[in-house]
Amino acid sequence: MIDSANIKTIETACTLLKEGNIVALPTETVYGLAADATNESAVQRIFQIKGRPTFNPLIVHVLTIEQTANIGEIPPSAMPLLEQFWPGPLTIVVPLKENHPLAPSVTAGLKTIALRMPAHPVFQEVLRAYGKPLAAPSANASNTLSCTRAEHVSKSLGNKIPLIIEGNVCDHGLESTIVDFSTSTPTILRHGALSAEELGILTHTSNQDKIKAPGQLKRHYAPSIPLRLNVKTPRGGEAFLNFGTSHPQETLNLSPASDLKEAAQNLFQMLHQLDDPHQFTAIAVSPIPHEGIGVAINDRLNRGAQILEKDLP
Ligand code: TXA
Ligand code: MG
């Protein structure tokens, strides 16, 4: 059920969370599927509902830095970035504290924890009212398109979750950038809403590093019809998702002004809109400049275009 954000729906969300239920909440990046991070059966429910492999750990969302005190060991070197970007679309991976209160499934057996302080007022209100950290992956069935509107969540998971709180369109439209602070050199594990240049961090892990970025493998963020990338002229039957100067065959344009931030905000919304097997054979996407936030856009598009081994002839 989709409900608009008000005091009553926030109360309902808290009651559901207390009972070990899951609620979908807007964040400034994409919608999240939230559960009490200390409740093991609630956290397991997230994995079931998304069809997410249990080896893929979750991000823990907090309202204040104090809430991280018994969870993660934040190194002093991370503080300048946190001061600048928290609350906001930055997730940090830090060593997990020994006597942490988190449900075991949150970390999927790793000795590190991913922490994020979201900036969206609705998510913050729920954190404030509930008083405990919330584990929240993106609110979409595993490997499918992320959701930037309540109705996307409803389409992807609606019958499995009791409450989706509606917020305005997610500002950034791409997931948070994940930076690993558990080793001596801070490293980007997932490109996201904050570019490497904005963060001043230029090292990143390769896609093949299974241990470092367990959720960053193979196919992800995929629509139900094929994605074809770097297309200048679409084929008959394809939807054409253009970027920049208008094209006679464009179906939608990520940003007519060639603004990469605007393109990021529109990306999942437009892919959801074009993901219609009755109308199109595939989604053809125009080349996206590989700079700034374009790196994160291309990361999502490349993963969305991967073919699963099981689908190969
Ligand atoms: O913007 C976001 O980050 C959204 C909103 C809802 O906050 N959340 C999100 O969660 O994107 P999810 O579960 O879709 O992606 C979390 C990523 C996964 O790739 C997971 O493998 C990685 O974070 N992750 C979680 N804990 C980790 C850890 N300890 N070490 C390395 N990667 C970790
Ligand atoms: Mg996700």
Distance, in Å, from the CA atom of 130 to the CA atom of 125, rounded to the nearest integer, reads 8
300: CA distance to ligand 2 center in Å?
A: 10
Report the chain (313 residues): mean pLDDT per 10 consecutive residues.
95 98 98 98 98 94 97 96 98 97 96 98 98 98 95 94 92 96 93 96 64 61 95 97 98 98 98 98 98 96 80 58
- Is any ligand 1 atom within 6 A of the Cβ of residue 239? no
**Among the listed residues 113, 88, 93, the one whose alpha carbon sits nearest the alpha carbon of residue 38:** 113
Predicted pLDDT of residue 67: 97
35: CA distance to ligand 1 center in Å?
A: 14
- Is any ligand 1 atom within 6 A of the Cβ of residue 116? yes
Task: Give 225's contacts (C-beta < 8 A, 6+ positions apart).
Answer: 275, 276, 277, 280, 281, 282, 283
Predicted pLDDT of residue 218: 66
110: CA distance to ligand 1 center in Å?
A: 13
CB atoms within 10 A of CB 99: 6
- Is any ligand 1 atom within 6 A of the Cβ of residue 194? no
Which of 43, 59, 181, 219 to mutate for ligand 1's pocket (most ligand atoms within 8 Å of CB)? Answer: 59
Predicted pLDDT of residue 158: 86
* Ligand closest in space to the Cα of 216: 1
Cα-based distances in Å from 214 to 115, 164, 255: 16, 27, 32
Atom 6 of ligand 1: nearest residue by CA position: 32
Please report the atom of ligand 1 found closest to the CA of residue 172: 1
- Is any ligand 1 atom within 6 A of the Cβ of residue 30? yes
Atom 24 of ligand 1: nearest residue by CA position: 57
- Is any ligand 1 atom within 6 A of the Cβ of residue 29? yes
Predicted pLDDT of residue 204: 75
5: CA distance to ligand 1 center in Å?
A: 25
**Local structure of 141: helix, strand or coil:** coil
Atom 3 of ligand 1: nearest residue by CA position: 176
Predicted pLDDT of residue 206: 60
Predicted pLDDT of residue 217: 58
Predicted pLDDT of residue 203: 78
Q: Running DSSP on this structure, what letter comes out for residue 169?
A: P
236: CA distance to ligand 2 center in Å?
A: 32
- Is any ligand 1 atom within 6 A of the Cβ of residue 173? no
Q: Taking the model in full, what pTM does it have?
A: 0.95
Distance, in Å, from the CA atom of 92 to the CA atom of 176, rounded to the nearest integer, reads 10
**Among the listed residues 223, 228, 215, the one whose alpha carbon sits nearest the alpha carbon of residue 270:** 223
